[in-house]
């Protein structure tokens, strides 16, 4: 945590501030309270040296500066809870265990969040997401899993009313501090509101949940029919995030029940997807007979059985790549969280290009010279690999 703060400090100060200067603590971090004291003293040394110039993007620079000011004057209740922790406890092995691992872990998660968006992997997607959100002006927006408020502050500055749902109490306190410091506190709610929103964000949230599909009915309940959901999920297989194939499939099915494709305009970010909330009647028609959403992971596969006369379009962000050392063999996948690669030859790739959502299966067969039965077989294969856009039906 201290190393991440030091890396951030090098990007936001006009003169160097060294952790070594805090020698009166002896460098001890035997307890969470000692580590926090070091962080507070370091932040207090950084604040007077903050500069408006730096190598970070303006939003990342603003967030990092806010973080140092927040830590330097950390709320007493957070300090006391961390000081009372006798030790660091066991290592947290999965993302969804973080909330139950103590106040110090929640504090470290805040620092990690700011660092990742400023200097880590998240910095590559911040610009394209912000550019996309520029069109959201004066809307009621739900930011689900707001984190450090990377997008909530900008939305509020654009006149949006932003409901921030953030279960990490330290991050929620930082959000409250930021919204007041940025004079947008009257447009930011740091708690759930039982109201219908025009749009919702869920950026890199679903793969932090043990059962991500269970939050989809909640998100739908907070959106008006036709409301927009922008979500970004990758499910990396790193042992920390959720990546269980069954959970990924259940999430895909839940999203299809409650949402449909919102058009072709999406952020220029891999795995980002824009959906529209279905009407209440459409949602009811797609709900399974059982009230248990986990009872049959394949139920939706049968509910949305293909009509023999229609062929859907391929999913957006389709990627076709040649396999090294295997002439004529290609990998087809979509840059969306639930898509699986499908390996085809060049002739089949050309056939896929006919899947535009408008032609009948007979038309596709006639245009390609392939038997109708073979086209149907290909459709079934593409469905199993989740490469067809069934949410638009």
**Mean pLDDT in residue range 117-143:** 93
pLDDT band at 383 (very low <50, low <70, confident <90, very high): confident
Asked if 333 and 340 count as a contact pair (C-beta separation under 8 A), the reply is yes
The lowest-confidence range among 64-68, 179-183, 283-287 is 283-287
Residue 309: per-residue pLDDT? 59
Which among 337, 302, 301 has a CA at the least distance from the CA of 317? 337
- Quick check: 46 pLDDT over 50? yes
Q: Is 52 exposed, middle or buried (0-12, 13-18, 19+ CB in 10 A)?
A: exposed
User: What band does 293 get if pLDDT is binned at 50, 70 and 90?
Assistant: very low
User: Poorest-confidence range of 14-18, 172-176, 268-272?
Assistant: 14-18
Residue 14 in this model has a pLDDT that exceeds 80: no
Q: Are 351 and 368 in contact (CB under 8 A)?
A: yes
- If one compares 337 and 184, the residue with the highest pLDDT of the two is 184
pLDDT score recorded for residue 290: 54
Residue 300 pLDDT > 70: no
Task: Tell me the pLDDT band of 20, cut-offs 50, 70 and 90.
Answer: low
* pLDDT higher at 143 or 313: 143
pLDDT of 306 reads 46
Mean pLDDT confidence for 35-56: 88
Q: How far is CA 76 from CA 34, 80, 150, in A?
A: 15, 6, 24
The pLDDT value given to residue 302: 42
Three-class SS of the chain: CHHHHHHHHHHHECCCCCHHHCHHHCCCCCCHHHHHHHHHHHHHHHHHHECCCCCCCHHHHHHHHHHHHHHHCCCHHHHHHHHCCCCCCCCCCCHHHHHHCCHHHHHHHHHHHHHHHHCCCCHHHHHHHHHHHCCCCCCEEEEECCCCCCCHHHHHHCCCEEEEECCCHHHHHHHHHHHHHCCCHHHEECCCCCCCEEEEEEECCHHHCCCHHHHHHHHHHCEEEEEEEEEECCCCCCCCCCCCHHHHHHHHHHHHHHEEECCCCCCCCCCEEEEEECCHHHHHHHCCCCCCCCCCCCHHHHHCCCCCCCCCEECCCEEEEECCCCCCEEEEEECCCCCCCEEEEHHHHHHHCCCECCCCHHHHHHHHCCCHHHHHHHHHHHHHCCCECHHHC
| pLDDT(358) > 90 | no
Mean pLDDT value across the chain: 87
Segment 301-337, tens digit of pLDDT: 444 444 455 678 888 788 888 887 777 789 998 888 8
High-pLDDT (> 90) share of the chain, %: 54
Beta bridge partners of 188: 162
Measure the CA–CA gap between 101 and 326, rounded to whole angstroms. 49
- Give the β-pairing of 342-345 and 329-334: antiparallel
Q: Please give the average per-residue pLDDT across 11-40, as a whole number.
A: 76
Q: Is the pLDDT of residue 289 over 80?
A: no
Residue 126 neighbours by CB under 8 Å, 6+ apart: 57, 59, 60, 117, 150
**pLDDT at position 386, please?**
85
pLDDT of residue 229: 97
Whole-number CA gyration radius for the chain: 24
Among 15-24, 96-105, 369-378, 379-388, the minimum mean pLDDT is found in: 15-24
Query: What is the reported pLDDT for 19?
Result: 65
Q: pLDDT higher for 271 or 76?
A: 76
* Whole-number percent of the chain with pLDDT over 70: 90
Average pLDDT score over residue span 168-177? 97
Binned at pLDDT 50, 70 and 90, residue 384 comes out as confident
- The pLDDT score that the predictor gives to residue 129 is 95
| pLDDT (average), residues 60-69 | 95
- pLDDT score for 158: 95
pLDDT of amino acid 335: 83
**392 pLDDT band (50/70/90 cuts)?**
low
Which has more confidence, 14 or 284? 284
pLDDT recorded at residue 160 = 97
pLDDT digits (tens, 9 = 90+) for 231-255: 999 999 999 999 998 999 899 989 9
Tell me: pLDDT of 52 over 90: no
d(CA 95, CA 97): 5
User: What's the pTM value of the predicted model, to 2 decimals?
Assistant: 0.85
Q: In whole angstroms, what is the distance from residue 234 CA to residue 337 CA?
A: 5
């Amino acid at each position: 945590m201290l190393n991440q703060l030091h890396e951030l400090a090098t990007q936001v100060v006009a003169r160097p501030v060294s952790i070594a200067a805090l020698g009166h603590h002896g460098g001890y971090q035997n307890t969470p309270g000692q580590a926090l004291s070091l962080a507070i003293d370091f932040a207090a040394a950084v604040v007077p040296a903050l500069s408006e110039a730096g190598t970070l993007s303006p939003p990342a620079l603003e967030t990092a500066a806010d973080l140092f000011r927040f830590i330097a004057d950390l709320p007493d209740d957070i300090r006391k809870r961390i000081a009372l922790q006798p030790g660091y406890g066991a290592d947290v092995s999965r993302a969804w265990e973080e909330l139950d691992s103590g106040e110090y872990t929640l504090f470290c998660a805040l620092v990690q969040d700011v660092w990742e968006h400023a200097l880590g992997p998240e910095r590559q997607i911040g610009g394209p997401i912000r550019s996309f959100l520029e069109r959201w002006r004066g809307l009621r927006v739900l930011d689900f899993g707001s984190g450090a408020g990377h997008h909530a502050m900008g939305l509020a500055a654009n006149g949006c009313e932003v409901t921030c749902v953030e279960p990490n109490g330290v991050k929620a306190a930082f959000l409250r501090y930021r919204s007041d410091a940025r004079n947008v506190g009257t447009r930011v709610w740091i708690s759930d509101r039982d109201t219908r929103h025009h749009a919702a964000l869920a950026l890199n949230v679903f793969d932090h949940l043990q059962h991500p599909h269970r939050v989809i009915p909640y998100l739908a309940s907070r959106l008006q029919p036709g409301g927009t959901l922008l979500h970004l999920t990758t499910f990396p297989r790193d042992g920390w995030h959720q990546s269980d194939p069954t959970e990924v499939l259940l999430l895909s099915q839940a999203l299809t029940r409650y949402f449909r494709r919102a058009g072709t305009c999406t952020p220029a970010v891999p795995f980002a997807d824009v959906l529209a909330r279905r009407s209440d009647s459409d949602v009811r028609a797609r709900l399974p007979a059982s009230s248990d959403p986990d009872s049959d992971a394949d139920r939706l596969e049968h509910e949305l059985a293909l009509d023999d006369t229609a062929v859907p379009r391929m999913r957006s962000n389709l990627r076709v790549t040649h396999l090294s050392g295997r002439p004529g063999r290609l990998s087809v996948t979509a840059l969306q969280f639930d898509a699986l690669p499908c390996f085809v030859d060049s002739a089949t790739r050309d056939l896929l290009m006919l899947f535009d959502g408008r032609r009948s299966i007979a038309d596709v067969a006639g245009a390609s010279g392939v038997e109708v039965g073979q086209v149907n077989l290909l459709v079934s294969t593409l469905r199993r690999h989740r490469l067809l856009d069934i949410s638009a039906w």
